Amino acid sequence: MPDKADVAIVGGGPGGLACARHLARAGAKVLVLERKPGFGRKVCAGGITCNGLVPLVPPDLIERAFPVQHIFSPRQRAQVVEKQPVIATINRERLGIWMAQQAADAGAMLHTGVHALALTESGLLVRDNAGAVRSLHCSHVVGADGARSVIRRALGLPSRLSIGLNAMLPVLREQMEWHLLPRLFASGYGWIFPHAKTTSVGAFTDGNLISGKRLQRNLHIWAAAQGIELGNASIQAGWVNYEYRGLCFGRRWLVGDAAGLSSALTGEGIYPAVLSGEAVATMILSNTMPPELKPLIKRHQRHRQLAQLAGRGRVVPALLAELFLLLLRLRAVDFHHLEMVTSSTG
């Protein structure tokens, strides 16, 4: 691993790899430092929107695509039927491997088993894959190290975390389902997202409203009511950060979950990570902000406001869930408002 680069990117998730590809294509000397032994593995339901990430990845990475969404509240169910698929599912490991290959092909240097430890005056302090602590010198550091980012913490920025639980079950389900049940999931929801040979079953909520332990109990209760046996399933937990405070901090940058860009309402974070990764690369190269960034940040803020409203007390979330379902049934509100991309309909 070299000890000098133009840009050191901490984290080889979708945000870091998108940033690396963009910078390397423009000729920058880019180092990606990933603490895991490989790229792509991540606790995730693998849902991506057809207005957002789907057009940006090769079709053979898409597992299933759904033109119909089934949404449930305690008292109602709504079906959103569109001519074209709205949401697709993707395998995170395959996505990560493809993105890593793209970044490497563009000329980025990717290193696994490397932990970023701290920011320094001239760059970064890291522990390499042989266990040695080393100084890296670079003009820019990009924190793409996820919801519990070391770089974000070193910059002194607070985070607000939502918690997600996910089980990949070896069963095939047909419908993509969202269950808005405030009693079990507060401002969040339970999901059933079918993949090619498995089904992602999980729950997401604001970590300030429900503890991980309680969320797990509630996930079991809800899954059993759906006829899904979670008994021996491996349930993995992960976080998303939705406290956005900016991308640029001098020569230090944040993208994706490290920047707090996931949706507080749905937990969607892959597309914001990719978009912000590319945007930071553009800003490093040319000091200009790409126009796609502004609508993303606006959408993020709107989701945050709605999530805060939906997390207030007991009555408000229940009323909001029923109102949302009613409006969906009456086609008075567009399901695309839940996406982080601002589509033509959104």
Ligand X SMILES: Cc1cc2nc3c(=O)[nH]c(=O)nc-3n(C[C@H](O)[C@H](O)[C@H](O)COP(=O)(O)OP(=O)(O)OC[C@H]3O[C@@H](n4cnc5c(N)ncnc54)[C@H](O)[C@@H]3O)c2cc1C
Residues that bind ligand X (CB under 6 A): 10-16, 33-36, 42-48, 115-116, 144-146, 150, 164-166, 202, 238-240, 256-258, 262, 267-271, 273
Residue nearer to ligand X on the CB measure, 207 or 318: 207
Measuring CA to CA, which residue among 83, 85, 48 is closest to residue 65? 85
Residue nearer to ligand X on the CB measure, 202 or 318: 202
**CB 269 to ligand X: min, Å:** 2
Integer CA distances (angstroms), 133 to 110, 120, 142, 230, in order:
18, 13, 19, 42
**CB 295 to ligand X: min, Å:** 17
Strands 30-34 and 109-112: parallel
281 sits in which H/E element: helix 270-286
Amino acid symbol at 222:
W
Residue nearer to ligand X on the CB measure, 184 or 270: 270
Residue nearer to ligand X on the CB measure, 15 or 311: 15
**CB 326 to ligand X: min, Å:** 26
Dihedrals phi, psi of 291, to nearest 5 degrees: -65, -25
Residue nearer to ligand X on the CB measure, 116 or 279: 116
Residue with structure tokens 């991309």? 341
The CA distance from 294 to 56, in Å, is 19
The CA distance from 275 to 5, in Å, is 23
The CB-nearest residue to ligand X is: 269
**CB 75 to ligand X: min, Å:** 26
The CA distance from 254 to 264, in Å, is 18
Residues 6 or more apart whose CB falls under 8 angstroms from that of 42 comprise 13, 92, 96, 238
Residue nearer to ligand X on the CB measure, 201 or 321: 201
**CB 243 to ligand X: min, Å:** 13
